[in-house]
């Protein structure tokens, strides 16, 4: 067993991620951390205004546009993902971004929906992170096929999940708050084979994680 206190070797049943919770013998190959996301926004652009909206978002994000659906760009204070044609994801550590984007984008160009309370984020990292995801996700996580900066939408255990690859072995997972408990139950079960540890919540989720 790991060095964590015995009371933290819990039988995982709840959807809460308790820092220090450890499962498995030896060094855990997976770390789970709650992401504290201040702003989670989804932007829907009209088809004929896609280019303009993309440029505006990239300017606000202070980063290059993602380039194509399935990619995200990393700015200093925000992360801009291109979910699908005309649909963007905005993650930021600043709560006021919902208002800021609403003001910056004309309603004739795009619609901004605040999903801050409707999404929950988990960072999955470690040597067995890919193996854990591959228990349900049929995505080729090879670095050539799905490099850092890639995102995908998948269904894991019947729960829709947005997967963002932040580094070689670190993934941010966004799930609906109402289904988060069920998803975390699955995640714990899947990671238990490799051994996992719950780390401290991450207050600033946008900066690139240290590999």
Residues that bind other proteins (CB under 8 A): 131, 134-140, 142, 145, 190, 193
Three-state SS letters, the chain? CCCCCHHHCCCCCCCCCCCCCEECCCCCCEEEEEECCCEEEEEEECHHHHHHHHHHHHHHHCCCCCCCCCEEEECCCEEEEEEECCEEEEEECCCCHHHHHHHHCCCCCEEEEECCCCEEEEEEECCCHHHHHCCCCCCCCCCCCCCCCEEEEEEECCEEEEEEEEECCEEEEEEEHHHHHHHHHHHHHHHHCCCEEECCCECCCCCCCCC
- To other proteins, the closest distance from the beta carbon of 194 in angstroms equals 10
Q: How far is the CB of 186 from other proteins (least distance, A)?
A: 10
Closest distance to other proteins from the beta carbon of 146 (Å): 10
Measured from the CB of residue 162, what is the shortest distance to other proteins in angstroms?
18
Closer by beta carbon to other proteins, 134 or else 176:
134
Question: Smallest gap, in angstroms, from Cβ of residue 95 to other proteins?
Answer: 37
Smaller CB distance to other proteins: residue 90 or 194?
194
Residues in contact with 19: Cβ distance below 8 Å, sequence separation at least 6, in sequence order: 198, 199, 200, 201
Of the two residues 17 and 190, which places its CB atom closer to other proteins in the complex? 190
Q: Which is nearer to other proteins, 71 or 135 (CB)?
A: 135
């Amino acid at each position: 067993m790991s060095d964590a206190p015995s009371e933290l070797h819990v039988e995982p049943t709840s959807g809460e991620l308790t820092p220090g919770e450890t499962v498995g013998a030896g060094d855990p190959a997976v770390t789970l951390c709650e992401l504290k996301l201040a702003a989670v926004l989804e932007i829907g652009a009209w088809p004929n205004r896609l280019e303009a909206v993309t440029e505006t978002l990239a300017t606000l994000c202070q980063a290059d546009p993602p380039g194509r659906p399935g990619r995200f760009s990393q700015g200093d204070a925000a992360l801009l993902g291109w979910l699908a044609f005309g649909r963007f994801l905005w993650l930021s550590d600043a709560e006021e971004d919902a208002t800021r984007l609403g003001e910056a984008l004309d309603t004739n160009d795009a619609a901004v929906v605040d999903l801050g309370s409707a999404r929950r984020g988990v960072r999955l990292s470690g040597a067995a992170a890919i193996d854990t995801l591959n228990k349900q996700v049929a995505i080729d996580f090879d670095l050539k096929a799905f490099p850092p900066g890639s995102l995908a939408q998948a269904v894991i255990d019947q729960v829709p999940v947005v997967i963002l690859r932040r580094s070689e072995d670190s993934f941010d997972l966004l799930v609906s708050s109402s289904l988060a408990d069920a998803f975390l139950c699955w995640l714990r079960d899947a990671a238990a084979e490799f051994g996992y540890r719950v780390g401290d919540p991450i207050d600033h989720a946008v900066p690139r994680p240290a590999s």
